[in-house]
Amino acid sequence: MRVHVTRPIPRAGLELLEQAGLSYTVPEAEGLPDRSELLRAVAGCTGILSLLTERMDAEAMEAAGPALRVISNHAVGHDNVDVKEATRRGILVTNTPGVLTETTADFTWALMLALARRVAEGDRLVREGKFEAWGPLMLLGTDLAGSTLGVVGSGRIGWAVARRAAGFKMRVLLYSPSRRLENPEEFGLLRSAQWVELDELFQRADFVSLHPPSTPATHHLVDERRLSLMKPTAFLINTSRGCVVDEQALIRALQAGRLAGAALDVYEHEPHVPQELLELPNVLLAPHIASASQATRSKMASLAARNLIDALEGRPPEHMVNPEVWRG
Ligand code: GLV
């Protein structure tokens, strides 16, 4: 049984593969693997430990061949994997939810605070040698206290983002089609929290933070019309997936001053970042690092390895995306 790990991952994950006695291949270079090399490397594998940067589609599954039993994605999002195709072929897909919840929520707040208080603009000003004196009108931002946070998606991460709002004295509006929380008893912790419809959330929130899964139903959930519902003083934060936002519509809205700013960790055609976004001063841009803490990335690697080992050793992995193919 051979496993291919599509890019170097934290040591903790590789150690688990070694302890399980699995032989694996992993490229030495940290960058994106060349597609043809990747297709060659997966040939004959029983398992692939994939990163979110690798498309695991019919072509990759075909290249792996009939021995392939599991694709273990080192991410909670699995839009890089054609789950339908995997299911059709009886290949189990697993992911890594839970371990990155607090880290991703922290980063969402880092973006929100930095955007509201213009931290990146201040940093640029200082580095450019333009800090001449304290100024009563210099880089005035927006207060969080007393404002309203709208959280789209009430899964683990959305809720962890919402929960932090209590400490900042913000009101919280929540949207999810199911109006369900993982731990419903926690709802009471946020005395101000209220379930609302999506359009109402966009109309009322001062900060809109996006946390839905990436599915056909959430593709361009934030489109021209929804953006037009936002207050011109409101901010948009996206740490979910780029395709949840119509990026061109967002650019037009920002250019026209129809919202106050945006902070993005993800992009529609990642890693491409449109030039227009690079040129807007009220946009904060991050390179998809919301889950990037030392501890969390180790946990993600370990969980992805455990999911893969469990699947190959006949134990049900903790996080199956298509459990219907599990036969044990
Ligand atoms: C990161 O973006 C993830 O989905 O885990």
Q: Does ligand 1 have an atom closer than 6 angstroms to the CB of 75?
A: yes
Rounded alpha-carbon distances, angstroms, from residue 6 to 38, 131, 146, 160, 247: 7, 45, 46, 30, 28
Rounded alpha-carbon distances, angstroms, from residue 97 to 78, 151, 264, 328: 10, 19, 21, 21
What is the CA(78)–ligand 1 centre distance, in A?
Answer: 8
Q: Is the dihedral of CA 267, 268, 273, 278 positive or negative?
A: negative
Check: CB of residue 4 under 8 Å from CB of residue 49: yes
Give me the active site residues, please.
241, 270, 288
Atom of ligand 1 nearest to the CA of 288: 2
Instruction: Write down the pTM of the prediction.
Output: 0.96
Q: Does ligand 1 have an atom closer than 6 angstroms to the CB of 100?
A: yes
Q: Going residue by residue through the chain (328 aa), what tens digit of pLDDT does each one get?
A: 899 999 999 999 999 999 999 999 999 999 999 999 999 999 999 999 999 999 999 999 999 999 999 999 999 999 999 999 999 999 999 999 999 999 999 999 999 999 999 999 999 999 999 999 999 999 999 999 999 999 999 999 999 999 999 999 999 999 999 998 888 888 888 888 999 999 999 999 999 999 999 999 999 999 999 999 999 999 999 999 999 999 999 999 999 999 999 999 999 999 999 999 999 999 999 999 999 999 999 999 999 999 999 999 999 999 999 999 998 6
Q: Which domains does the chain have, with CATH numbers?
A: 2-99+294-325 (3.40.50.720), 101-285 (3.40.50.720)
Q: Does ligand 1 have an atom closer than 6 angstroms to the CB of 95?
A: no
Tell me how far apart the 2 most distant CA atoms of the chain are, in Å.
Answer: 68
Alpha-carbon distance of 76 to 113, in angstroms, equals: 25
Structure tokens at 255: 């250019």
Atom of ligand 1 nearest to the CA of 300: 5
